[in-house]
Structure 1
Amino acid sequence: MTEQEFAKFAMGLKTYYPRENLLPNRPAMELWYRQLQDLPYEVAETALNKWVSTNKWSPSIAEIRQMCCEVRQGEIPAWSEAWETVLHAIRIYGSYRQQDAMMTLDDLTARTVTQIGGFVNICRSENIDIDRANFHMVYEELAKRKQKDALMPAKLRSAIQKIQSNSMMMLEGREDE
């Protein structure tokens, strides 16, 4: 979003929530713009319109980013819906067509299946209730990570990865001494 588009977005935000002291000065505008500039204007505007239609109070930066993710990607399916797709794939493909079955699963569901032991192991499970419980826990954790990752601007993710990489190199360097 350009600065001009952000100014229009900010004006809409102030207009929708006139009683709140939103973006009261230039430094506040600059800080908010810095945190939202990576978002496409039409996505941010749609997210704001969705927010306004469902919330009484003004959104925070994090809530705007979250709403933008929902507008762009849709909501992450509930774990129970994902589990049903796994069971459906088992019924259709069985354990002998694992690759075909995995292709029918979305990325998050497929990663969860892999982490709890793989598709074939679920097919041959002697206690599907335990697999279901494990799927639930792992899916929820991966969904949280995916959502957090999607909320962060790419520049911020890159900066974090660089810092973590540098920290790992420093730790490895100390071990060699």
Structure 2
Amino acid sequence: MNKEEFARIIAMIISFFPNSKINTDNNTQMELWYGMLKDLDFNITKLAITKMVTDEPYAPSNMIGAIRKYYGEIAGATPIANEDGYGMVQKAIRAYGYARPEEALASLPQNVRDAVIACGGWLQICTSEEPETMRAQFNRAMASINARSSSESRLNSAVKKKIKELQYMSDKVVMIELVPESKLDITEREQTQDNIQGMAKVNDVIKSLGLRED
């Protein structure tokens, strides 16, 4: 949304929640609010606020978080419930078997596919000899994935991008720390041996030129 649309959103919030702590004379507050909401679609945001008004009798303490929460519920596809995902996987197994994982996964919603991967992959689920244990594990994975998706829906695009950048940098640090020390030691020893041999040759040349006595 642009700044004109943002101003209309603020007016809408104040109209519905006159006791909300919004100070339109505070330029810093308005700039911060705009930065957190500008990636949202104007019309969907209006619907989100309308829905929020019907569900919230009082102004939410975290207004921006509440707006993004309701926005995500309207704009995003309805997530598959934690307990329903495993049933969808079982239907896909009957339809595609274990030998056609790409087609099977393509037939499932994103959060269900993520849960399949979290449980070891398509073949792992298909060949599990303890279906009830796998079901429980799958439901836990679905719960974790849905909770994370709900949390991420409240973040604006800039914050999401920054978090991904930080996670990427953190992964690089971990990879560096995992370099085996033994390999580094071997390299150091090889370099030390090369240096010794090199110095010995230098000494031989100096001696042959008569530049230094033994």
Tell me what 2:21 maps to.
22
Output one character per residue of 1:24-74: Cα deviation in whole Å (capped at 9) or x when no partner.
Answer: 242333322221111111111110111112221224111111111111113
- Which of the numbers 135, 138, 141 marks the counterpart of 1:138? 141
Matches within 5 A, 1:41-120: 41-59=42-60, 60-120=63-123
Residues in 2 aligned to 1:164 and 1:124: alpha-carbon distance in whole angstroms: 33
Aligned residues: 174
Answer yes or no: is 1:129 the counterpart of 2:132.
yes
Q: TM-score, normalised by structure 2?
A: 0.71
After TM superposition, give the deviation of residue 4 of structure 1 in Å: 1.1
Q: Cα gap change, 1:13/1:169 in structure 2, threshold over 3 Å: closer, same or farther?
A: same
Moved more, 26-35 or 163-172: 163-172
Runs of 5+ consecutive residues of structure 1 not aligned to the other structure? none
Residue 3 of structure 1 corresponds to: 3
Taking a change above 3 Å as real, the CA distance of residues 90 and 160 of structure 1, as seen in their structure-2 partners, is closer
| Identical-residue share of aligned pairs (%) | 26
* Aligned equivalent of 1:158: 161
Q: 1:166 to 1:120 in 2, by over 3 A?
A: closer
Asked if structure 1 preserves the Cα contact closer than 8 Å seen for 2:85 and 2:112, the reply is yes
Contact 2:111 2:146 in 1 (8 A): yes
Kept after mapping to 1: 8 A contact 2:80/2:111: no
Return the index of the structure with the highest Cα Rg.
2
Aligned Cα root-mean-square deviation (Å): 2.4
Aligned to 2:32: 31
| Structure number having the greater helix percentage | 1
